[in-house]
Amino acid sequence: MSLASIPKTVVDRSLKLTRVPLDFALSAAGLKRRAPEARVAERQRERAERLRQQAEAGRQHANEKREAAEAGAEKVAAAKKRVAAKKARKAKDANENREKSAKPTQLQARERSLEAEEKALRSKGVADQLREATEKAKEARKKVG
């Protein structure tokens, strides 16, 4: 031992001796004094527990956020589906209306076509009769003349 370490050793020993009655009294009262390592370990356990609780709260918050986002996405998808169904219904109704309105015009066109055909046949018949009458008149003139 060097001379410089003697006062340190004496002070350290004297502090231990003065602490002994205090430690004894505290342990008898149930208020045991803990070693600094034990206090550090306790603080670390408490910190670890706080971090676990924070992590669990973070996971729970993330789950709630994800569920809310999924619910929002489901609502958007349902709205898009309704809009698409409405558009399809409108298109179907428009097609049905177009077909209904096209049928009478088709029928009217067919009617006009038949009338035109009938008129053409009548005029052809009249033309044939006129031709026959003209030929008879020419033959009759030839016979007379």
Model confidence band, residue 80 (pLDDT cutoffs 50, 70, 90): very high
pLDDT in tens, 26-50: 777 666 666 778 788 989 999 999 9
Q: Which is higher by pLDDT, 142 or 85?
A: 85
In the chain, domain spans:
34-144
Q: Which residue has the tokens 């603080």?
A: 43
Cβ contact 11:3 at 8 Å: no
pTM of the model: 0.38
Q: What are phi and psi of 4, to 5 degrees?
A: -70, -25
Average pLDDT value over all residues in the chain: 82
